[in-house]
């Protein structure tokens, strides 16, 4: 196990000690618990998260909704800035389609006037904010206000219409009847509100993936202050990498405050070996895509963003 897991100071399997959080969190409620703690402690004054239409109905002024559809469709993530615990609780759970969370990073420091901003995002979104800190081309006075960046593991993401097709056409459920979606154990799971569960093999989902994901070389959010995902830990638990100085400090304080119960990552099944295996699979598959792009046409390459 090496570079594919990024640099980290510590790694554990963890879950929130707050039963309320766990009721609707995707996995161990790590993201919500961290932001909740950081809000309480004044480490952040607000956080950029992905919410859904119910949140929009209550707090439209906190959302970045540009088009009418944004606010109507179930499981359509809407980037939003939460500043209270109540708002935070409504952001729990993964929405498996694109939420441009970074689009709010400047606005958080402007209209919302936040000096200490939290943000959750996929590995590519962590790359975006670190590029933005080092090369703040259009992000004046933003970089040093990013107080806690929580990365979530990510194998791929989907356009909203792909999710529609997967749920409605393949799984034959209506979007409104879905309680939760999940990718795990080699399957795409759709859990209905009435208790029904449909699973699709991942080979069905591949063609629906966002193309931009096929050049992505990061699985476990190497550039988050803390990054987390379900893979590697038992059901209901999360794998957590503590990476930066900020991450280390926040994690230490949250642990001391009793926010999390943890198990050594070496003791849990399937453990880091699986994380490492999936990370390597993703990276080598996408490196191959980049190679293929180099000879895509006849003497013509597709662009490679990496320099």
Partner 1 sequence: MAPQKPADVAAKVETTKKEVKPVVDKITVGHVHMSGCTGCLVSLADNYGGLLTILDKYADLVYGLTLADVRHIQKMDVALVEGSVCINDKLSVQEIKETREKAAVVVAVGGCACYGNITRFGRGGQQNQPAHESYLPIGDLIKVDVYIPGCAPTPQQIRNVCVMAYLLLKGTKEQKDLATAYLKPLMMAAQRGTTACFCDLMTEVINQGLCMGCGSCAAACPVRAITHEYGKPQGQRDLCIKCGACYNQCPRSWFSFDVVSSYEAINEAIMAALQ
Ligand X SMILES: Cc1cc2nc3c(=O)[nH]c(=O)nc-3n(C[C@H](O)[C@H](O)[C@H](O)COP(=O)(O)OP(=O)(O)OC[C@H]3O[C@@H](n4cnc5c(N)ncnc54)[C@H](O)[C@@H]3O)c2cc1C
Count how many residues are written for the chain. Answer: 307
Rg (CA), the chain: 19
CA dist., res. 190 & res. 109, Å (int)? 37
Q: How far is the CB of 233 from partner 1 (least distance, A)?
A: 25
Q: Judged by CB under 6 A, how many residues of this single chain contact ligand SF4?
A: 11
Q: Is residue 38 within 8 Å of residue 118, measured between CB atoms?
A: yes
Q: Is residue 209 within 8 Å of residue 160, measured between CB atoms?
A: no
CA dist., res. 25 & res. 87, Å (int)? 14
Cα atoms in the Cβ-side hemisphere of radius 13 Å centred on 63: 24
Q: Is 156 a residue that touches ligand SF4 (CB under 6 A)? A: yes
Select from partner 1, ligand X, ligand SF4, none the partner in contact with residue 230, using the beta carbon and a kind-dependent cut-off of 5 to 8 Å: ligand X
9-17, 61-69, 171-179, 194-202 -> range binding partner 1 (CB under 8 A): 61-69
Cβ-proximal residue to ligand X, closest one = 229
Q: Is 101 a residue that touches partner 1 (CB under 8 A)? A: yes
- Among residues 271, 147, 288, which one has the least CA distance to residue 217? 288
* 109-148 footprint of partner 1 as x/- string (CB under 8 A): ------------xx-xx-xx-xxxxxxxxxxxxxx-----
CA dist., res. 83 & res. 194, Å (int)? 32
- Among residues 206, 182, 203, which one has the least CA distance to residue 192? 182
Select from partner 1, ligand SF4, ligand X, none the partner in contact with residue 229, using the beta carbon and a kind-dependent cut-off of 5 to 8 Å: ligand X
The two tokens of residue 270 are: 């399937």
Q: Which is nearer to partner 1, 212 or 264 (CB)?
A: 212
24-32, 59-67, 192-200, 274-282 -> range binding partner 1 (CB under 8 A): 59-67
Positions touching ligand SF4 (CB under 6 A) are 100, 122-124, 154, 156-157, 210, 212-213, 216
Positions touching ligand X (CB under 6 A) are 25-32, 49-50, 77, 91-96, 99, 101, 120-122, 152-155, 157, 183, 228-231, 238
């Amino acid at each position: 196990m090496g570079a594919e897991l990024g640099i980290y100071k510590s790694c554990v399997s963890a879950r929130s000690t707050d039963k309320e959080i766990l009721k609707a969190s995707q996995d161990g409620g790590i993201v919500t618990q961290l932001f909740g703690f950081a809000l309480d402690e004044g480490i952040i004054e607000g956080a950029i998260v992905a919410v859904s239409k119910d949140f929009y109905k209550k707090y439209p002024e906190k959302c970045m909704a540009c088009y009418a559809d944004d606010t109507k469709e179930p499981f359509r993530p809407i980037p939003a800035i939460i500043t209270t615990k109540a708002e935070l609780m409504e952001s729990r759970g993964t929405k498996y389609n694109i939420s441009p969370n970074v689009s709010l990073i400047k606005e958080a420091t402007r209209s919302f006037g936040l000096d200490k901003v939290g943000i959750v995002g996929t590995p590519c979104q962590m790359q975006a904010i670190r590029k933005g800190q080092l090369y703040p081309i259009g992000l004046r006075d933003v970089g040093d206000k990013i107080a806690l960046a929580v990365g979530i593991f990510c194998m791929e993401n989907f356009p909203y219409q792909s999710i529609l097709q997967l749920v409605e056409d393949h799984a034959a459920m209506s979007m409104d009847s879905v309680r939760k979606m999940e990718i795990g154990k080699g399957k795409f799971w759709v859990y209905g509100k009435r208790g029904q569960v449909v699973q699709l093999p991942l080979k069905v989902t591949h063609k629906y993936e966002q193309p931009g994901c096929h050049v992505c070389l990061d699985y476990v959010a190497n550039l988050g202050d803390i990054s987390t995902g379900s893979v590697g830990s038992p059901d209901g638990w999360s794998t957590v990498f503590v990476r930066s100085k900020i991450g280390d400090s926040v994690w230490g304080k949250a642990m001391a405050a009793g926010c999390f119960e943890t198990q050594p990552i070496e003791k849990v099944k399937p453990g880091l070996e699986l994380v490492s295996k999936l990370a390597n699979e993703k990276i080598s598959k996408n490196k191959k895509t980049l190679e293929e792009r180099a000879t895509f046409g006849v003497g013509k390459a597709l662009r490679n963003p990496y320099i």
